Copies of this chain bind each other. A is one copy, B any other.
Amino acid sequence: MNISGLKMNFAGKDFVRITHYSKKEIEYILDVAEEFEDTYRKKTQMKLAEGKILATLFFQPSTRTQFSFQTSMHRLGGSVLGFAGTEYTSVMKGENLEDTIRMFDSYTNIIVIRHPEAGSAEKAAEVAKVPVINGGDGSNRHPTQALLDLYSIRKFKGKIKDIKFAFWGGIKYSRVAHSLALGLAMFGAKIYQVYPGNQSLPDNIIQELKEKYNVSAPPRLQPDEALKQVDIVYMGGAIQDLTIGGGKAMVSEEERKKTLEEYNKYFVLSLERFKKLGVKDDLLVMHPLPRHVETLKPDLDNTKHCGYFEEAGYGIPVRMALLALLLNVKN
């Protein structure tokens, strides 16, 4: 539901960083997503993108990002082509990224790219005439995950402003956290960090928070302290971000081991722990998934604390909205 009555034109724009858009623009995307939620829930199809082709260029394998973009394009009535993963990575190694992008630019109507190198989506956007969406570039940014997380928060809590939101786990190399922290700051949420070792948000993000949204470095909380105080804990990071963020190990094996030990001791979330601590009834757990069931225990799955499955589903209306707006087919 487009509360403002406003109509915005995103035709031909890229979506590479969330900070390239104003709060009003992001809100508009989320409003359009709200309009599309019915199509998502009823699993029907609109004809808005009929005849359009989406290229999904996944130089790194992906599950939710890739399949939700494909689903979203089908729900809009469009077609999809592209590649995923290791095989094509080697095939295309012989070709520079610009030439690959030029090919899909002349074939398709819109491009989503995931690539192990930070800055790759920016590079693609410079070359392509059609809109380019960043589906995750190395350990740098993942703005569409941030978008669906903002949408999820608004759905779960009715607002984003003033929500107490704690990043939970190592987020130094988490592209999801980097984009989401900026999105949360844009909307005036209260951000906290709960992390093992020295795996806090990196300096460049801290600086951007200050410069763009006048938000100071998010305070660090101790795990139990956070669970009692905040409205939302956002898991993620940790194992994958220390080892495969951007496709390669980010820290020494020794540091990794130490961090993991700390993580396994203090960062496991379970209903048992929630009960022992006596957390609020409406403490919400979010997670971009996939999870490790050892650290996000399935005993939480069927409780009111579980937000992570609905969150994943919201990828559909949100990515539908983004595609429709950049393709300029949403009237």
Q: Which residue numbers of A lie inside 8 Å of B, CB to CB?
A: 43-45, 50-53, 61, 63-64, 67-68, 70-71, 74-75, 77, 79-81, 83-88, 91-92, 94-96, 99-100, 102-104, 106-109, 130, 289-293, 309, 312-313, 316
CB distance from A23 to the nearest CB of B (A): 28
Contact between B64 and A74 (Cβ–Cβ < 8 Å)? no
Contact between B87 and A291 (Cβ–Cβ < 8 Å)? no
- Out of B85, B100, B293, name the residue touching A63 (CB < 8 Å): B100
Given A43-B52, A293-B96, decide whether A81 and B71 contact each other with a Cβ distance below 8 A: yes
Contact between A71 and B316 (Cβ–Cβ < 8 Å)? no
Given A85-B87, A87-B87, decide whether A103 and B70 contact each other with a Cβ distance below 8 A: no
Contact between A50 and B45 (Cβ–Cβ < 8 Å)? yes
CB distance from A189 to the nearest CB of B (A): 25
Contact between B85 and A309 (Cβ–Cβ < 8 Å)? no
Contact between B95 and A291 (Cβ–Cβ < 8 Å)? yes
Which chain B positions have C-beta within 8 A of A309? 102, 106
Which chain B positions have C-beta within 8 A of A63? 91-92, 95, 100, 103
Given A109-B43, A290-B99, A292-B94, decide whether A53 and B71 contact each other with a Cβ distance below 8 A: yes
Given A85-B91, A293-B96, decide whether A108 and B61 contact each other with a Cβ distance below 8 A: no
Contact between B67 and A103 (Cβ–Cβ < 8 Å)? yes
Contact between B45 and A103 (Cβ–Cβ < 8 Å)? no
Given A61-B88, A70-B81, A81-B70, decide whether A291 and B99 contact each other with a Cβ distance below 8 A: yes
- In whole angstroms, what is the CA distance A53 to B42 when docked? 12
Contact between A316 and B81 (Cβ–Cβ < 8 Å)? no
Which residue of chain B lies nearest to A91 when distances are taken between CB atoms in the complex?
B61
CB distance from A247 to the nearest CB of B (A): 13
Contact between A51 and B61 (Cβ–Cβ < 8 Å)? no
CB distance from A188 to the nearest CB of B (A): 30
CB distance from A226 to the nearest CB of B (A): 24
Contact between B99 and A289 (Cβ–Cβ < 8 Å)? yes
- In whole angstroms, what is the CA distance A52 to B92 when docked? 30
A-B contact pairs, 10 of them (CB 8 A): A45-B51, A61-B88, A63-B91, A67-B81, A67-B104, A80-B81, A92-B290, A94-B290, A102-B312, A106-B312
- In whole angstroms, what is the CA distance A303 to B292 when docked? 52
Contact between B53 and A106 (Cβ–Cβ < 8 Å)? no
- In whole angstroms, what is the CA distance A44 to B108 when docked? 10
- In whole angstroms, what is the CA distance A75 to B100 when docked? 20
- Out of B83, B91, B107, B313, name the residue touching A71 (CB < 8 Å): B107
CB distance from A297 to the nearest CB of B (A): 12
- In whole angstroms, what is the CA distance A88 to B71 when docked? 18
- In whole angstroms, what is the CA distance A316 to B104 when docked? 11
Contact between B68 and A316 (Cβ–Cβ < 8 Å)? no
Which chain B positions have C-beta within 8 A of A83? 84
